[in-house]
Chains A and B, each alone.
Chain A
Amino acid sequence: MRLPAQPGEWIDRTTPLGFRFEGRDYTGFAGDTVASALAAAGVSMLGRSFKYHRPRGLLSAANHDVNAMMQWGGMPNLRADATPLAAGMDLEAVNTFGTLERDAGSMLGHLSRFLPVGFYYKAFHGKRLFPLWEKMFRAMTGLGKVDFSAPRQRTPKRYGFCDVLVVGGGTSGLAAALSAAEQGAQVALVDENARLGGSTQGASELVGKVLAHPRIRVFTDTYAAGYYADHWVPLVERERITKMRARAVVVAAGAFEQPAVFRNNDLPGVMLASGAARLIRRHAVQPAGRIVLLAANADAYQALADFIRAGIEVAAVVDLRGTLPSEQRALPAAHDIPLFAGHCILEALPSSDGRRVAGVKIAPLGQTQAIAELACDGVFMSVGWAPAAALLYQAGTKMRYDAGIEQFVPEKLPDGVFACGRVNGVHTFASRLLDGERAGSAAAAHCGLGGAKPIAVPTETDSPTHPWPIVPHPEGKNFIDFDEDLQLSDLENAIQEGFDNIELMKRYSTVGMGPSQGKHSNMNALRVLARATGATPGEVGTTTARPFFHPVPMSHLAGRGFTPERRTPMHALHEAAGAVWMPAGAWQRPEYYAIHGLTREACIEGEALAVRQGVGLIDVGTLGKLEIRGPQAAEFLERVYVSKYAGLKTGMTRYAVMCDEAGVVIDDGVIARLADDHFYFTTTTSGAAAVYRELSRWNTLWKMDCGIVNLTGAMAAMNLAGPKAKQVLTGLTDVDLSLPFLAVREGNVCGVPARLMRAGFVGEWGVEIHVPAEHGARVWQALMQAGQAHGIRPFGVEAQRLLRLEKGHIIIGQDTDGLTTPGEAGLDWAVKMDKPFFVGQRSLAIIASKPRPRQLVGFMLPADHAGPAPQECHLVIDNGDIAGRVTSIAWSPALQRHIGMAYVKPGMDAAGSTFAIRLSDKTLVSAEVAKTPFYDPDNLRQKEEA
């Protein structure tokens, strides 16, 4: 029922919003939550429970009412108690079989005696039948449904900075924010509610001051999802995440009101007093007409005043405490409300349709005989609190159990983390103000702003929490965990079975593992365990409070999605030329250039033929390009590569292999000497960043007189190769093109400063041309244009792989793996063990004394090989055993047969001998070990002075 206007209500009565729930139309107001709008319309059953499909309603109205989860189109698991009402919503309760009204799943409630705690561990595991049972379980399990057509949402993220972050905008949080700001701190104040003020009335003056304060930024409708190292707190808003970096954090997150445990305490209409008060104050909804208030603290009587004011008839106040302060007795007395002190609710009675509470049975605490039965349509509970300490735990706070207030409180806070208010064990309104001021001041002082005010906060005289709000009942259904449908006996039985440690009990019973993550269940569960094992709650301890405080949508976590991709300066030209792209680390490279009407294979073969017979051009700009200068540059290179470079003549290049300290090949490239103290060298595409970094580390360690620069992004590079390459280049450069094989020259190409290296990777006369990146496209275009007359073709990675294979050159990472030594890869010739030192040398010396486990060899298939050819990573089989694997294989147009490289066992590597390769279909193909290079074995073509 909707009440007349309440002071400070959150709803806007001028904006009605129509929506549907379970196929029926309703109207609420802007400012309503889904749950408050439904409550206003008199709907009390909002969902079904997870296991027994019992009718459930609102409990907290504070974002942990997991039994009131709804589906709206593609949105699963919307929490009705925390989701703002929107016009046109079409909602259904999650996890019903049929409808909420007629849920076939509710028959499970009758089977509950067959389904004790952990029942699924005790049966269903027959080997044959388990898959069937499992199907059934999977049909029953889960809450909302995902909608495969829901679009990818790209939610923005931003970074925030502040001196003091205050989490919680209740009384103590407001006070903390103000006192920190007054000391000069830039403050961010977050609260998950739509408005500040927390659960207490009376803070409105503070709210005004906070909102007006120039140094306080307020985030409402926002929750702090977790605490991470160095005061990094993600603030989750509806449409965005702000990743807040604070210099100090004040946790003023309050406490969760805890339910009492009695039979049928899950009936719709049974709810926390704070939840009922929220509905009244914020949404002007009267959640019940006639209630019984179950009390055990001062808060109950404050709420009672609210209930009376809202016109709710209070049938009785049942207080678990035998004696209570006179000021608390006064209110019920003044209104002629019967007060049952020292009593409990033995059980709640359902209405005839079982959908709502219709009465309660009351008994003296500890007795099982009811002394009264009262009719009511609501039971509001205020028996105690559990601190909302998740962020404190995550920050590494040591907590202790304070028996005086029956609550865990911070014992030792980490540096820069502060707590105040209920989470700090301070419950009285006036004390919370003081405690907030104290914590805010201390937090500002931590940031170097003013001094921490010495404020003494009086200790609580009256415990706000009852130590045992739990009433056993022979027929059970006294729920401790509403998410997981766990009754008192479930926990007792788990303990009986030996799960008598808080973590084991949790894992076996699943208490606290549901979507509310134990916000209303952990404390009662802990009390059950403590009592069963004769320990104090402090000795039992809590389970670990991990992020998140509330679940966070993946869209928020993912943000906009940022997948950086690197492109060379010639990217657009490749695109225009029909490039088919392949990823190479972060780079995109042309795999080949598609020609309309030709197959992929034909295109690649055409590109390769162009290089062999005419001229081709490939973009090699993704290679790492480093430069090293200094008197000790040569010595440095000799220490990090396996070959020698001191003797390399200026103007010449040399192949370079790098090992790690274990002697494993990790990278290769070409080193060019530009001057005595100046080298330019390349690395593999994928190794570039790591090699540069590792070389820099060695240089930091060795402190040699040389410096390394990474030019990978600054330089474009292309390889012009083929018998006609020289003709293409002539006229475009001032460099004398009679330069010998492996020479390097600096000069101009197309008027652009360039480095030219006579390279032989693809086995034809070729020059690698390196130019500043901004000129890359121009030079490429000029070369393509000049090459037109010679039939030039751009070639991609695949053609290059084939061409290099014909030359027997390895590709690191393809022809090597995580354990390959230079010797195994046939690179013995490059390794100079007579140098004083290089990385990996000592390991290679040890390895050399042991038998070599494998050898990379070239192989050929018979020229008349018919049928499918082996593929890379097909196994070499010897006498039925694995003897190696193919690392590279391709059809060689030049040799007109399949050629490849493979690892084989030692002794199988003699040229001319044969071995067997097993295809995926198990047929064996015979291959012959062949000397490399397969093509132009004497390397005449690449050296040739055309």
Chain B
Amino acid sequence: MKIMTCPVNGPRAISEFAYGGEIRSMPDPATCSDDEWADYVFNRNGSPGVKREWWCHLPSNTWFVAERDTARDVVLRTYLYEGEG
């Protein structure tokens, strides 16, 4: 089974984790257009590549960021979320 490294709990079997999708920044709902909002809600960056993703270590309920190459399923780096930028 694949191994994912939780920044708090260390390397664990992937079955202990939940995938939360790519980290996407929310447009300002007050100022964005309807189309921009719909794009945020529904559209995804569906092509393979290195993505910043949400992952949760379930037993400890730790959400963190994984940088993962989705073409090869290789986790390059994991770390706790520190905000954007």
- Do chains A and B make direct contact within the complex (CB under 8 angstroms)? yes
What residues of chain A have their CB less than 8 Å away from a CB belonging to chain B? 228-230, 232, 243, 661-662, 692-693, 696-697, 700-701, 703, 710, 837, 841-843, 846
Given A230-B2, A230-B3, A693-B56: A700 and B63 within 8 A (CB)? yes
A-side contacts of B81, CB under 8 Å: 700-701
The CA of A530 and the CA of B63, in the complex, are separated in Å by 52
Given A696-B63, A697-B54, A841-B29: A232 and B38 within 8 A (CB)? no
B-side contacts of A232, CB under 8 Å: 1-2
| B18 lies within 8 A of chain A by Cβ | yes
A229 and B1 contact, CB distance less than 8 A: yes
10 A–B pairs (Cβ distance < 8 Å), ordered by A:
A228-B2, A232-B1, A661-B40, A661-B41, A696-B56, A696-B63, A697-B56, A697-B63, A843-B38, A846-B37
Nearest-CB residue, chain A, relative to B64: A700
A-side contacts of B32, CB under 8 Å: 842
B-side contacts of A846, CB under 8 Å: 34, 37-38
Tell me how far the C-beta of A837 lies from the nearest C-beta in chain B, rounded to whole angstroms: 7
A-side contacts of B37, CB under 8 Å: 842-843, 846
Which of the residues A228, A662, A837 comes within 8 Å of B41, measured between beta carbons?
A662
Tell me how far the C-beta of B75 lies from the nearest C-beta in chain A, rounded to whole angstroms: 9
B41 and A843 contact, CB distance less than 8 A: yes
Tell me how far the C-beta of A701 lies from the nearest C-beta in chain B, rounded to whole angstroms: 7
Tell me how far the C-beta of B12 lies from the nearest C-beta in chain A, rounded to whole angstroms: 11
B residues 26-79 touching A (CB-CB < 8 Å): 29, 32, 34, 37-38, 40-42, 54, 56, 58, 61, 63, 73
Tell me how far the C-beta of B41 lies from the nearest C-beta in chain A, rounded to whole angstroms: 5
The CA of A843 and the CA of B29, in the complex, are separated in Å by 9
Given A693-B56, A846-B34: A703 and B2 within 8 A (CB)? no
B2 and A229 contact, CB distance less than 8 A: yes
Nearest-CB residue, chain A, relative to B37: A842
Nearest-CB residue, chain A, relative to B80: A700
A-B residue pair count with CB separations less than 8 angstroms: 43
A692 and B83 contact, CB distance less than 8 A: no
Tell me how far the C-beta of A161 lies from the nearest C-beta in chain B, rounded to whole angstroms: 12
Tell me how far the C-beta of A888 lies from the nearest C-beta in chain B, rounded to whole angstroms: 29
B-side contacts of A843, CB under 8 Å: 37-38, 41
The CA of A243 and the CA of B42, in the complex, are separated in Å by 39
The CA of A243 and the CA of B13, in the complex, are separated in Å by 12
The CA of A225 and the CA of B34, in the complex, are separated in Å by 52
Q: Give the top 5 A-B pairs by smallest Cβ distance, nearest first.
A: A842-B29, A700-B63, A229-B2, A230-B3, A661-B41
B73 and A229 contact, CB distance less than 8 A: yes
Given A232-B2, A693-B56, A842-B37: A837 and B61 within 8 A (CB)? no
What residues of chain B have their CB less than 8 Å away from a CB belonging to chain A? 1-3, 18, 20, 29, 32, 34, 37-38, 40-42, 54, 56, 58, 61, 63, 73, 81, 83
A-side contacts of B3, CB under 8 Å: 230
A-side contacts of B2, CB under 8 Å: 228-230, 232
Tell me how far the C-beta of A627 lies from the nearest C-beta in chain B, rounded to whole angstroms: 13
Main secondary structure of the interface of B (DSSP, over half): mixed
The CA of A230 and the CA of B73, in the complex, are separated in Å by 10
A228 and B63 contact, CB distance less than 8 A: no
B-side contacts of A693, CB under 8 Å: 18, 56, 58, 61
Tell me how far the C-beta of B24 lies from the nearest C-beta in chain A, rounded to whole angstroms: 10
B1 and A697 contact, CB distance less than 8 A: no
The CA of A100 and the CA of B29, in the complex, are separated in Å by 76
The CA of A220 and the CA of B81, in the complex, are separated in Å by 47
The CA of A122 and the CA of B46, in the complex, are separated in Å by 41
A-side contacts of B63, CB under 8 Å: 696-697, 700
Tell me how far the C-beta of B64 lies from the nearest C-beta in chain A, rounded to whole angstroms: 8
Tell me how far the C-beta of A592 lies from the nearest C-beta in chain B, rounded to whole angstroms: 34
A692 and B41 contact, CB distance less than 8 A: no
The CA of A701 and the CA of B54, in the complex, are separated in Å by 10
The CA of A506 and the CA of B27, in the complex, are separated in Å by 51
The CA of A692 and the CA of B18, in the complex, are separated in Å by 12
A-side contacts of B1, CB under 8 Å: 228-230, 232, 243
The CA of A479 and the CA of B9, in the complex, are separated in Å by 56
B-side contacts of A243, CB under 8 Å: 1
B61 and A696 contact, CB distance less than 8 A: yes
Tell me how far the C-beta of B36 lies from the nearest C-beta in chain A, rounded to whole angstroms: 10
Most B Cβ at <10 Å: residue of A230, A693, A710? A230
B-side contacts of A692, CB under 8 Å: 61
B-side contacts of A841, CB under 8 Å: 29
Tell me how far the C-beta of A660 lies from the nearest C-beta in chain B, rounded to whole angstroms: 9
Tell me how far the C-beta of B34 lies from the nearest C-beta in chain A, rounded to whole angstroms: 5
Which of the residues A229, A230, A703, A842 comes within 8 Å of B83, measured between beta carbons?
A703
Given A841-B29, A842-B29: A662 and B18 within 8 A (CB)? no
The CA of A217 and the CA of B24, in the complex, are separated in Å by 48
Most A Cβ at <10 Å: residue of B34, B40, B41, B56? B41
The CA of A697 and the CA of B63, in the complex, are separated in Å by 6
The CA of A536 and the CA of B32, in the complex, are separated in Å by 59
The CA of A53 and the CA of B58, in the complex, are separated in Å by 55
The CA of A841 and the CA of B28, in the complex, are separated in Å by 12
Most A Cβ at <10 Å: residue of B18, B32, B73? B18
Tell me how far the C-beta of A356 lies from the nearest C-beta in chain B, rounded to whole angstroms: 48
B-side contacts of A697, CB under 8 Å: 20, 54, 56, 63
The CA of A842 and the CA of B27, in the complex, are separated in Å by 11
A-side contacts of B58, CB under 8 Å: 693
The CA of A837 and the CA of B37, in the complex, are separated in Å by 14
Tell me how far the C-beta of B20 lies from the nearest C-beta in chain A, rounded to whole angstroms: 6
The CA of A692 and the CA of B62, in the complex, are separated in Å by 12
B-side contacts of A696, CB under 8 Å: 56, 61, 63
Tell me how far the C-beta of A640 lies from the nearest C-beta in chain B, rounded to whole angstroms: 14
Which of the residues B34, B42, B83 comes within 8 Å of A662, measured between beta carbons?
B42
The CA of A243 and the CA of B29, in the complex, are separated in Å by 49
15 additional contacts (CB under 8 A) given A710-B61, A843-B37: A229-B73, A232-B1, A661-B40, A662-B42, A692-B61, A693-B18, A693-B58, A693-B61, A696-B56, A697-B56, A700-B63, A703-B83, A843-B38, A846-B34, A846-B38
Nearest-CB residue, chain A, relative to B4: A230
A-side contacts of B41, CB under 8 Å: 661-662, 843
